Structure 1
Amino acid sequence: MVNGCDGGHDDAEVGGHAALISAPLATSYELDAGSADAVQIIELNTVDGPRDLRLAGARRGMPIGDRVVPVRYLSRAAWGADESLRFNPDGTPKFGADQFFPVQTVTVHHTAGQNDDPDPAGFVRGLYQFDLDRYGDLGYHLMIDEAGTVYEGRASGSDSQPMFGPAGADGRPLMISAAHVGGMNSGNLGIALLGDFTSRQPTAAARSALTKVLAGICAVQRLDPRAATTFVNPVSGAQLAVDTISGHRDWMATECPGNAFYPKLPALRKKVASLLR
């Protein structure tokens, strides 16, 4: 049993987003999900990704708008995303046409599953495979492992920028709509820490990387990390009053981002604000 991170994209009510528990030396997993009347079996390779894949190198900084955040960063090409899997046989994207919106909020998640994963890039590849059939791509915009390495999540176009696409009318880059909070994704960035923080805290390296990334996002998007806002979904009109930097459970009933870590979010907002100053 894993502590789930329920969520879904705007055009469907999707739940049961529980991350995989990876095992050393395992080459594949079989998941049995559903009830006795409706069982879905999913098989995926979470270790070596697509065959004959040439990986790009890690970077010492992650681009966010006109800034470079000083973290170790793996683009999709660096962690091994097989981009062909995002498309149907006729070449159309599985998730439909990309949609871009102004950033209103940032939501912090945990993936649940195993802590101290010996192959976090393999876990990301496995999560990518798991999310493809439901969301057409990764549901998160970014992921951060326990060593503080940041992974590019959902594809956002052909440029080198994670998360963002074209500039909006006010000059701020628009974000790609992803799939991490059911019904509340358009304008809501999602960042997930790899691991389960129900009874333990993220590592210092993971917290440091998260703080730096949030500060970079807030600077580029002109967000106050200490503020609250009324999020308005530009697609459905649904609204919710939340902190500008929120936890997943602020949006819906879920254990994410963990009982141990969630109470630390006020301190996290304070640290982000200090970095901005």
Structure 2
Amino acid sequence: MIRVLGLAAEAGIPETLAAFSGPDVRLHTPDFPIGHLGVSWSGPRLGGSYRFRRARTGWGPWLPLSPGDPSTSGRRTALVPAGHAVAYQLTPPPGAVDVETVAINTTDGPIVTAPAASRQLRGFRFVSRAGWGADESLRFGADGSEIFPQAYFGVQTLTVHHTVTANLDPNPASTVRAIYFFHTVSEDFGDIGYHLLIDQNGTVYEGRYSGPDPTPVFNGHLGDEPQLCNATHAGGFNAGNLGIALLGDFTSAVPTPAARTTLVRVLAALASSTGVDPLGQVNYVNPISGATRTVPAIATHRNWSPTACPGDSLYPDLPELRAEVQALLLATDGPLG
């Protein structure tokens, strides 16, 4: 699990939340190995940079900060792999305000090499929340109540994302833990925002906690009208919207063949189970707020909000991906997965 070292005695805030504000370069040296660095800010997209110091090699080069995608709060966020860094410095984009950083210790925990089988996602290499090391206590407030309780809705759309993290990831489970911490604690989502994640090897990771039953994503059974657990991957349009994220940054790179193949198969399995038409358009209606949007049945994050997600290299591939999902459904007898 994510090991949080040290608590601020008065506020009860983990020291991993090393926050600061201001436009100048700041040095931060937490007392734990830094696995990932999360950054959030308001204002301009471009111009930020960061660097890490490592115990044996000292300071590395300054690297450009990702432009960051707007979160549900409208703030820009970026999550940077740090390896085993011992310190970091950040120069925010010029004009950025309310800059916050979070050093996340994801260096401890399981390195998944043989994912457990899943009855509900048979045919996929699948890792449950326990398998990738989710610290379930993070989902609960100080009073013991769940911060983001489960709620279930009929499935209207499937949405593809990218996580803007490392493309050749030596420990994807660590990255999933970092995303979980960043979403749950730093962004106050109460849980990881995606329902499923896929790494470069084609392994599928369970995302959003969907209840005590063994079925990921849904409320314990598929049935004729499976009910989707609400998540936080598309601000304002989450209820009934199933989010699948590819681990990596596909601004200029493309997914590995293994990741892309698994994405097609997962989308086909979900479309088969939920009745979503891979080639269709959907007049989406948020059952909570009443907000509407006409989108492809297999959508991307940029269909819902002004974001670059799932990346300029992946986005043009969506028509072909939808066609491959449809072809796989037509070639398969009965439900997939």
CA distance in 2, matches of 1:124, 1:46: 9
Q: Which of 18, 21, 24 matches 2:83?
A: 24
The corresponding residue for 1:165 is: 219
3-state DSSP class of the match of 1:190?
strand
Letter in 2 for 1:140: Y
Per-residue CA deviations over 1:149-197 (Å, capped at 9, x if unaligned) read 11000100011111111569x7322111100111000010111001100
Select which of 128, 151, 156 maps to 1:99: 151
Which residue number corresponds to residue 78 of structure 1?
131
Deviation at 1:17, TM superposition (A): 3.6
- CA drift of 1:14 comes to 4.0
TM alignment of 1:25-174, pairs within 5 A: 25-26=84-85, 38-49=98-109, 58-61=115-118, 63=120, 68-95=121-148, 97-133=149-185, 134-166=188-220, 171-174=224-227
Q: 1:187 to 1:29 in 2, by over 3 A?
A: farther
Structure 2 equivalent of residue 226 of structure 1: 279
Distance 1:221 1:125, change over 3 A: same
Does the 8 Å CA contact 1:27/1:45 hold for their aligned counterparts? no
Cα 1:112–1:85 change in 2 (3 A) is: same
Cα-Cα RMSD: 2.5
- Partner SS, residue 282 of structure 2: strand
TM-score by length of 2: 0.72
Matches of 1:54 and 1:155 in 2, distance apart? 21
Q: Partner amino acid for 1:98? A: Q
Q: Are the structure 2 counterparts of residues 30 and 78 from structure 1 closer, same or farther at C-alpha, using a change threshold of 3 Å?
A: farther
Cα deviation, residue 28, structure 1? 8.3
Give the one of 50, 54, 66 matched to 1:2: 66
- More contact order relative to length (CA 8 Å, sep ≥ 6): 1
Question: Closer, same or farther in 2 for the Cα pair 1:27/1:161, shift >3 Å?
Answer: farther
CA distance in 2: counterparts of 1:148 and 1:78, whole angstroms: 16
Identity, in percent, stands at: 46
Corresponding letter in the other structure for 1:25: H
Q: Distance in 1 between matches of 2:107 and 2:91?
A: 19
Give the number of aligned pairs.
263
Matched residues in 1 for 2:273 and 2:112: separation?
A: 29
For 1:117 and 1:99, how far apart are their aligned partners in 2? 33
Paired position in structure 2 for 1:208: 261
> Separation in 2 of the partners of 1:218 and 1:128?
26
Deviations 1:3-35 (A, max 9, x none): 434342xxxx444243x2213334787888797
Name the CA distance, whole Å, in 1 between partners of 2:115 and 2:87: 25
Q: Deviations over 1:15-70 (max 9, x none)?
A: 4243x221333478788879765332323212214xxx89996224561xxxx441
Distance 2:155 2:209 in 1: 16
Alignment of 1:263 with 2:316, yes or no, is yes
SS at structure 2 position matched to 1:40 = strand
Q: Distance in 2 between matches of 1:31 and 1:157?
A: 38
Q: Matches of 1:241 and 1:39 in 2, distance apart?
A: 34
- Greater C-alpha radius of gyration: 2
Residue in structure 1 matched with residue 39 of structure 2 by the alignment: none
Q: 1:47 to 1:171 in 2, by over 3 A?
A: same
Question: Do the aligned partners of residues 54 and 197 (structure 1) sit closer, same or farther apart at CA in structure 2, a change above 3 Å counting?
Answer: closer
Instruction: Give deviations 1:81-121, integer Å, cap 9, x for gaps.
Output: 011111012210122x3211000001100001221011111
Describe the shift of the 1:172–1:17 C-alpha distance in structure 2 as closer, same or farther (beyond 3 A): farther
One-letter identity of the residue aligned with 2:173: A
Unaligned stretches of 5+ residues in structure 2? 1-64, 331-337
Structure 2 CA distance for partners of 1:201 and 1:41, relative to 1, 3 Å? closer
Q: Tell me the TM-score normalised to structure 1 length.
A: 0.87
